[in-house]
Amino acid sequence: MKFVNYILVFASFISLAYAGVPKPEYPRPQFERNDWINLNGTWTYQLDPVRSGFERGNINTTGFDSLITVPFAPESMLSGVQHKDFIPRIWYHRSISVPVSWSDKSVILHFGAVYYESEVYIDGKFVGRHHGGSSSFSYDITRFVKTGKMHNLVVVASSDLRSGLQTAGKQSLQWASHNCNYTRTTGIWQTVWMEGVDEYALKSLHVMTDIDQQQVTIQPTYYHQSTHRLTVHVRDNGKTVATRTVAANNSSVIVIPIKDPKLWSPESPFLYDLELLVTSLDGQEIDKISSYFGMRKIHVEGNRIYLNNQAYYQRLVLDQGFYPDGIWTSPSDEALKRDIMLGKEAGFNGARLHQKVFEERYYYWADKLGYLTWGESASWGMDANNIEAARNFISEWIECVERDRNHPSLVIWTPFNEQWWPDKTNYPRLAGDIYQLTKLLDPTRPVNGVSGGAHILTDIWTVHHYEQDPEKLRDIFYSDGKYFQTPNEAHPGHRNIGFNEIKNSNNYIFPVYDGQKPYFVDEFGGIKWVSDEKLQQLDSKTQTWGYGDAPRTLDEFYQRLEGQVDQLLSLSEQIWGYCYTQLTDVEQEQNGIYNYDRSTKFDMEKIKKIFSKEP
């Protein structure tokens, strides 16, 4: 790298020292240590459009010629790059130094998420490879680094978005954004950090709460097992209410009674603090973790979804988690919190997090503020009939479920959205296996197998429809004593596949809805309204997009919106919840309750009154 570039990099790091590191918060609020180093900030980078970087020796670089701000994707404004075309491969470099105080510790390098396939090198030596653009991962880099010495960290991220072999979510598979597909995200898009840990430290926790037996069960996993002890403290607003000490090994599952538990709900989002301390037999501290949990239960019984043993009607909003300046990455922790507040201020009690695995700190704020969430993969873009795509999906989904399953706000898993290949060989097998796998990883939550698509195995029957006329919408969902599940000539674009006594060419028999599960309309509405009055009147002649014909006036918008909600509520004997599309506009899609920049779009008192209605 040229001398002038060294000067630029040095100047950039100096400016960061004064301006602050972007996204400075510890990224895992349910598994937090004090001793860590945030690696966000200015890195050097190089685009590799023909994938020749390995031949050019990029793994041995001491720095590239251009600068990028991590953890923002190169397509975003906040990255300082804004390269919007397809990026087959991108290389990153920064120098790292391990503190002398970590000399007797293992050094763990963490990545919140890198899209899609990534490899990590230190001083030209291969550290590891990861597949999956949404899941978090880490490497033990102890043998690659020495305390007090500068090392060259190189990360290379590769993506073949149009291959059908990887999850894409709402990233556009065309050159430009269009309809409900938006700007892409490539490379590092969540926080990168290091921490020093003892070789016998905790690696992960699985926390399950049981309100019926008034207890919490904690299953710890360690980097290495030992003869050490683990002490767990449960605190209520600083007061210790329970303590338990066990052997520090993977087989020692901790069961802690919680007397008269305070339950978590959107109306009362109480959280217990959790401290976990690993000590040697002579009392020396080995590891210390700060965490929390919420005592709550979510389950399906008959055609109802229950929260804390009470039938609970979910009024959700579709949240796609895109930002004008950060795309998939929120510009700040405050932005994550604000999106939840916007949803609550509009009258919703939760959100279906759509076609994206959100940053873990989003769930933290949902836990703190009392906001139900549905966890979903970025399944669009993958060919679910392809064996390699299925294999890629399985490993990524496992990591996503394991990362987020301790959050009380997360109440439903949705592995797929609108996948509808009933005549294919692999899809029914994949969808069924993912349902069963999700249940094994997390037996405490219902699974919405395929949102609005070809259900194979599911705990909730979900449907999508964007009919704009309220009366017609009601007739579609319920007519002649039956609830809607199939397309018909009047609505050929609807993606729910008809299953009435259907066998495909491979003799798979698909389930039919007969009232045996909760029926949930998890996509409807999508009413187009453009804040710019001139653009609104031009409607389809503009580059904006939404569902159906837009209302011509604001009064017509409010009437249509309230009519649709009222009709769904009138069917609450069977339809037990809804999800309105959507929280904000996203690029050209103009059907949000708020503008894309999160500014106010409507009279929020009217909006909240509509979405606060209960059946």
CATH superfamily of 3-197: Galactose-binding domain-like (2.60.120.260)
Report the C-alpha gap between 73 and 43 in whole angstroms: 12
Tokens of 224: 């290495």
Q: Which residues of the chain have pLDDT under 70?
A: 1-19, 420-424, 480, 485-512, 533-542
Contacts 24+ apart (CB under 8 A), 322-325: 322/170, 322/182, 322/183, 322/584, 322/586, 322/587, 322/596, 324/77, 324/596, 324/597, 325/76, 325/77, 325/78
Helix or strand run (H / E) with residue 448: none
Tokens of 261: 């538990």
Cβ neighbours for 148, distance < 8 A, ≥ 6 positions apart: 97, 98, 99, 100
Query: Tens digit of pLDDT for each residue in 448-477?
Result: 999 988 888 899 999 999 999 999 999 988
Closest by alpha carbon to 153, among 125, 131, 186, 114?
125
- 3-class secondary structure, 151: strand
Q: How far apart are CA 362 and CA 331, in angstroms?
A: 12
Please say whether the beta carbons of 112 and 146 come within 8 A: no
Contacts of 80 (CB under 8 A, 6+ apart): 67, 68, 69, 72
Q: What is the pLDDT of residue 494?
A: 35
Residue 208: strand, helix, or coil: strand
Q: What is the pLDDT of residue 503?
A: 45
Tell me the C-alpha distance between 446 and 303, whole Å.
13
The one-letter code for the residue type at 320 is Q
Which of 527-551 are b and which e, b meaning 16 or more Cβ less than 10 Å from the residue's Cβ? bbbbbeeeebeebeeeebbbbeebb
Angle, to 10 degrees, between the axis of helix 387-404 and the axis of helix 360-369?
40
Give the Cα separation of 423 and 350 in Å (integer): 35
Percentages (nearest 5) of helix, strand, coil residues in the chain: 20, 35, 45
**Pick from 57, 322, 317, 373: which is nearest to 183 by CA?**
322
Nearest to 565 by CA among 474, 478, 463: 474
Q: Sheet with 202-210: list strands edge to edge.
A: 202-210, 215-222, 254-257
- The CATH number of 315-611 is 3.20.20.80
- Supply the pLDDT for residue 12: 43
How big is the chain by its Cα radius of gyration, in Å? 25
**394 with 437: CB under 8 angstroms?**
yes
DSSP 11-78: HHHHHHHHH--SS-S-S-TTSB-SSEEE--EEEEEEE-TTS-TTTTTGGG-S--SEEEEETS-TTSTT
Vertex 259 angle, CA 255 and 261, to 5°: 95
In this prediction the pTM is: 0.93
Per this entry, what is the length of the chain? 615
Burial of 440: CB neighbours in 10 Å, binned 0-12, 13-18, 19+: exposed
Specify which residues 14 forms β-bridges with.
none
Sheet with 410-414: list strands edge to edge: 410-414, 372-376, 350-353, 315-319, 575-581, 519-525, 461-464
Two tokens, residue 205:
């926790």
Per-residue model confidence (pLDDT) at position 455: 84
CATH of 202-293, one of 3.30.450.20, 2.60.40.10, 3.30.70.240, 3.40.50.150: 2.60.40.10
- Give the list of residues 6+ apart from residue 331 with CB closer than 8 angstroms, or none: 78, 323, 325
Q: Rounded distance, CA 292 to CA 255, Å?
A: 15
User: How many of the other CB atoms lie within 10 Å of CB of 471?
Assistant: 11
pLDDT at 419: 76
Euclidean distance between CA atoms 176 and 161, whole angstroms: 13
**What does residue 393 show for φ and ψ, rounded to 5 degrees?**
-65, -45
Question: Do the beta carbons of residue 606 and residue 558 sit within 8 Å?
Answer: yes
Give the pLDDT of residue 2: 43
Joined tokens for residue 198 = 């003892």
CA dist list (Å): 602 to 203, 559, 578, 584: 47, 13, 21, 12
How far is Cα 136 from Cα 158, in angstroms, rounded to an integer?
A: 16
Q: What are the extents of the domains in the chain?
A: 3-197, 202-293, 315-611
How far apart (Å, rounded) are the C-alpha atoms in residues 593 and 584? 5
324, 371, 587 from 321: Cα distances, Å: 10, 15, 12
